[in-house]
Amino acid sequence: MKKPTRRDARLAAAPSAETPTVLAFEHAPMSDLVDALADGRVTASALTTFYLARIEAYDRGGPMLNAVRALNPDAVTIAGKLDHTRPSLKRPLAGVPILVKDNIATADKQPTTAGSLALEGARAKRDATVVKLLRGAGAVILGKANLMEFANMLAIDMPAGYSSLGGQVKNPYAPALMDDRDIPVVTPGGSSSGSAVAVAAGLCAASIGTETSGSLLHPAGLNGLVTVKPTVGLISRAGIVPIAHSQDTAGPMTRTVRDAALLLNVLAAKDPLDPVTLRQRRPADYTAGLASDAMKGARIGVPSDPADPLNDPYYGKLPPKWIEVIAEAIKVMEDLGAIIVRASMPTAGWIAGPGTTMAVLNRNPLSRNKGSPTMQWIVFLYELKHDLNLYLKDWATNTEIKTIADIVAFNEANADKALRFGQDLFLAANLTRGNLSEREYKSARAMDLLSARTHGMDAYLNQHELDAVLFPGAYGAAIAAKAGYPSVMVPGGFVSGTNDGKDTPDYPLGVTFSGRAWSEHKLLRLAYAYEQASRMRKPPPGLIAR
């Protein structure tokens, strides 16, 4: 593949002498790029070349964000074949360059590694369903985004955005690392860190990440993005390297709410390869009804009651600057006509049910808590072995790795490179039977649903007749994820602080709207109204066009 030059990047903004209009592609909404492609103001080839130049300048050079693990060697060729195909109802993403997280299978020349040295050369037998849908809609799969290794299920206290294969992803708003430990001063967020950083830094039009509990919401919030963590079953998980089928899902990373809705239109489809999708409910068009007055009359729950300060896990211990941002966000919603209901979440909802966690000894050599037992979710550890073994059997090729036990053995044999932070979670998962027959697993899953869904989200939404629950940042990720319910993150403002005594630059803070199963459309409409009134997204400083 031809290496892009800075001249290529400039030319992307002016594809021909007849169309001299210059567009600021690097931070433009995806919907603007779709319009430019439809109007002939840019070609798929030029747009793809532009993003490749951005990746060269800022991911491989400059601040070296390390958001992109690998580029698709056929991206320019694929784009060239789309140069004369305009976006349409049938192919709404024709020519749009998109990155996918490197735990999402692609049946092309790109390996699918989950950030693991053990899977460095592993390929996929076929496209994951989400990739198949993207290609069918005309998208150009630009490459694979870096991630926390195995989506943050390998080791305890592994830094967000680190993997043994891909290295450390940096937050584009604060790319500095700690001098002594090579850990970011400001985290890039959870396991979908590369997917988020790439969109925030203008390295692609949009990206796809995944979440089990917080891995879309956390990085989106810290990178000033919009994401949708959908109801489990709205988007197929077939072909995605798993953690836990009870909670796993994919979702879009975008710069605007409308862009997220556009991608959801493509991704939300029933798939026989993932039977849970067969019960999904969705509107014909997620962009319908996105309006600035959609907040009027909506009842928004704020799970923080000043009269009940001990039952306030979401707002009670926020830093002062967070409190200012959230207070301003709530004021914006009230000005839009929302009815704010301040009431504590039922304690049984967020505190988790009995027997839902288990202790795992922390042997991470670089952890400050080394030698201490840490509590981990039982459902994750038991489903990990079962689900990962199935993925390796049914999807992986070009690798001798066939089971989680093989990965553990590989890592031990290559400990100097593969186990900087250990593999305590894989060790614990590998000790399970792998067939989900254990009573403790079945009990833990039932208690997760009883606490988070029945006694938590359902009880709260029903009692106060709410349209959505408002959480600061990703603080509400776990309760919504365990219930299998959707969340939509939107930029809320900027904060700063200290990390190990070192002051941080300003970095983004998001706000999350969570709701009932299949309520994505309602949540998107609320998020859109707030987004249009607040206009809180600002691109990372210093990442100017080249």
Q: Cα(199)–Cα(97) distance, rounded to whole angstroms?
A: 11
Range of 533's domain? 72-540
- Is 379 contained in some domain? yes
Distances (CA, A) of 235 to 129, 282, 518: 9, 11, 11
Residue 139, pLDDT score: 98
What was the pLDDT predicted at 542?
A: 83
Nearest residue to 480 (alpha-carbon basis) of 306, 148, 251: 251
- Exposure string of 180-213, with b = 16+ CB inside 10 Å and e = fewer, is eeebbbbbbbbbbbbbbbbbbbbbbbbbbbbbbb
Residue 109 a catalytic site member: no
Residue 258 falls inside a structural domain: yes
357 within some domain: yes
Render 513-525 in DSSP notation, one character per residue: EE-STT-HHHHHH
pTM of the predicted protein model: 0.95
Give catalytic status of residue 191 as yes or no: yes
Cα atoms in the Cβ-side hemisphere of radius 13 Å centred on 435: 2
How far from chain centre, in Å, is Cα 429? 24
**Cβ contact 526:295 at 8 Å:** yes
Residue with tokens 């999807």: 395
In a domain, 9, yes or no: no
**Active-site pick, 163, 191, 192, 246:** 191
Considering 31, 45, 101, 192, which one is annotated as catalytic?
101
pLDDT at 251: 98
- The span from the CA of 247 to the CA of 379, in Å, is 9
Does residue 483 belong to any structural domain of this protein? yes
Non-local (6+) Cβ contacts of 246 within 8 A are 232, 379, 383, 445, 448, 484
Single out the catalytic residue among 215, 304, 367, 534.
Answer: 215
With tokens 């038991």, the residue in question is 382
Cα dihedral 313, 191, 164, 385 sign: positive
Are residues 227 and 488 in contact, defined by beta-carbon separation less than 8 angstroms?
A: yes
Residue 497's pLDDT is 85
Q: How many other β-carbons are positioned within 10 Å of the β-carbon of residue 393?
A: 10
> What's the CATH number where 309 sits?
3.90.1300.10
Q: What is the mean pLDDT of each run of 10 residues along the chain (546 residues)?
A: 41 36 78 97 97 97 97 98 97 98 97 98 98 98 98 97 97 87 89 98 98 98 98 98 98 98 98 97 98 98 95 95 97 98 96 95 95 97 98 98 98 98 98 98 98 98 98 98 98 88 90 98 98 97 71
Structural domains counted in the chain: 1
pLDDT, position 31: 98
